[in-house]
Amino acid sequence: MDEPNIVVVIIDAFRPDHLSMFGYGKETDANLKRIAKESVLFRNQFSVSNATAPAVTSILSGLLPSSHGVIHQFPYTKPEEFEKVEKIGFWLPSYLKDRGYETMAFDWISFWFEKGFDYYKESEEEIEGLFPPTKMTVDLAISKIKKAKKPFFALLHLWDTHFPFPNTPYKGGGPNEADKILADIKDEKQRAYVNNRMNAAKLYSVQDVTNKYDETIKIIDQEVGRLYDFLKSENLLENTILVILGDHGDIIHEHGIYFSHCGLFDGSTRAPMIIKLPGVKGKETSEMVQNIDIVPTILEFLSEKTAPVFDGKSLIPLINTGAKVRDRVFLFDGLANDVRAVRTGNKKLIVAKDSFCNLCKSSHHHGTVEYDLSKDPEETKDIFSSDSELLKLMK
């Protein structure tokens, strides 16, 4: 068989519990559900980070932020992080280009993300406003894929799910609860930040923000469905590895955080993932996996024997036999100065050496805390003691 095409669709700030296939009451995900049925659905996928730059660097390298160097989101990325990522040990776009793939990205972030792509452009035209509309990104991807030589690698980054959702027409209309929300925030600077967020979106209640987030998910769902049907109609799907995932989660209202993906709580770091491999369909797993596992999975599928050692692990054994591939994930706060976490199936340890959050100028974690997620999924009761098993994992 010819080398498979590879399509990776990254959906920004995309949390699983707003999808009916993860138990949500509204059907926001008719197309994603249909795609998941013909693929492998990962119910327990964690990003390495709560922020885009470190997360996408990990998705494309199979390396943890501590290995590739990018800990912090723009504009908080430090000069030494830029320097370290220039020497990254593995970069999927460059690898695939060397292997003969035509490589193209429909993205927004530039910097080192352009490396290895034959085509890298935010859009054909200037983008008006904050984020490129998903429909435009998918149109552009379809037009380029039609002309691409085989095999090709296409990376799409869909932004509409990111606050303040500028491309979604929903206008809200619920009661104005701004005063109540602001009164709930103790830190003055964070209060100003949240006030700005509400004004940017022109939405003033948790319910209105929730409704708009769900509307944007429906738009993304429809557009991903359109891309999928295009690949099918062109007879490309049968020989394409398709990966669809959120780069990180999002928080509408939990832990005193409003309308941003701050902190290393599950809300900010857990994201849905679907992988379609040629010849595999109708599977799902609740085993814990992480976005650094994508590259090793693709390389095992391509029968690559000489790949470097990744932090991630191939998910092929899990997909084929259900075998557990990892019992822990490491998490790096891309917005705070120095906050890291380790999460197992039922526990999470968060170590905040410097918890200052550059985004909202507040802080969301204090010192070292541990949560028993089996009894306390809301992550509210600290059970840390100095003989913590997770503290040993962290070291």
Closest CA to 208 of 237, 148, 247, 168: 168
User: Quick one: 316 or 359, whose CB is closer to Zn ion?
Assistant: 359
To Zn ion, the closest distance from the beta carbon of 263 in angstroms equals: 7
Contact positions with Zn ion (CB under 5 A) in 247-306: 262
- The C-alpha angle with vertex 355 and arms to 268 and 335, in degrees rounded to 5, equals 45
Q: Which is nearer to Zn ion, 164 or 312 (CB)?
A: 164
Give me the residues paired with residue 275 across strands. Answer: 40, 243
CB of 353 to Zn ion, least distance (A): 16
Distance of alpha carbon 155 from the chain centroid? 13
The distance of closest approach from Cβ of residue 67 to Zn ion in the complex, given in angstroms and rounded to an integer, is 25
**Closer residue to Zn ion in complex, CB, 42/259:** 259
Does position 360 bind Zn ion by CB under 5 A?
yes
Task: Determine the interface stretch with Zn ion among 7-15, 66-74, 121-129, 354-362 (rule: CB under 5 A).
Answer: 354-362
Q: At what angle do helices 206-233 and 30-37 cross, to 10 degrees?
A: 50
359 lies in the site for Zn ion, by CB under 5 A: yes
Based on the shown chain and the rule CB under 5 A, indicate whether residue 194 belongs to the binding site for Zn ion: no
Under rule CB under 5 A, residue 245 binds Zn ion: no
Q: Considering only residues 122-141, where is the footprint of Zn ion by CB under 5 A? A: none
Amino acid at 314: S
Report the alpha-carbon distance of residue 230 to residue 233 in Å, rounded: 5
| Cβ 107 to Zn ion shortest distance, Å | 25
Q: 243 vs 357, which CB is nearer to Zn ion? A: 357
Task: Give the nearest distance from C-beta 70 to Zn ion in angstroms.
Answer: 19
138 vs 262, which CB is nearer to Zn ion? 262
Taking CB under 5 A as the binding criterion, the range among 49-57, 122-130, 133-141, 359-367 that sits at the site for Zn ion is 359-367
Task: For residue 169, say if its preceding peptide bond is cis, omega within 30 degrees of 0.
Answer: no
Amino acid at 331: L
Distances (CA, A) of 163 to 32, 150, 155, 258, 267: 21, 36, 22, 11, 15
Query: How many Å apart are CA 314 and CA 300, to the nearest integer?
Result: 7
Location of structure tokens 């379809």: 142
Query: Is 357 an interacting residue with respect to Zn ion (CB under 5 A)?
Result: yes
Considering the complex, state which of residue 73 and residue 168 has its C-beta at the smaller distance from Zn ion.
Answer: 73
How far does the chain reach from its first CA to its final CA, in angstroms?
Answer: 45
CB of 364 to Zn ion, least distance (A): 6
Our CB check for Zn ion shows the closer of 20 and 337 to be 337
Which residue type occupies 48? V
Tokens for 68, please give them: 């590739």
- Residues that bind Zn ion (rule: CB under 5 A) add up to a total of 4
What is the C-alpha radius of gyration for the chain, rounded to an integer number of angstroms? 20
Q: Which is nearer to Zn ion, 351 or 359 (CB)?
A: 359
Q: How far is the CB of 213 from Zn ion (least distance, A)?
A: 18
Tokens of 334: 């891309």
Q: What does the binding site for Zn ion look like in residue numbers (CB under 5 A)?
A: 262, 357, 359-360
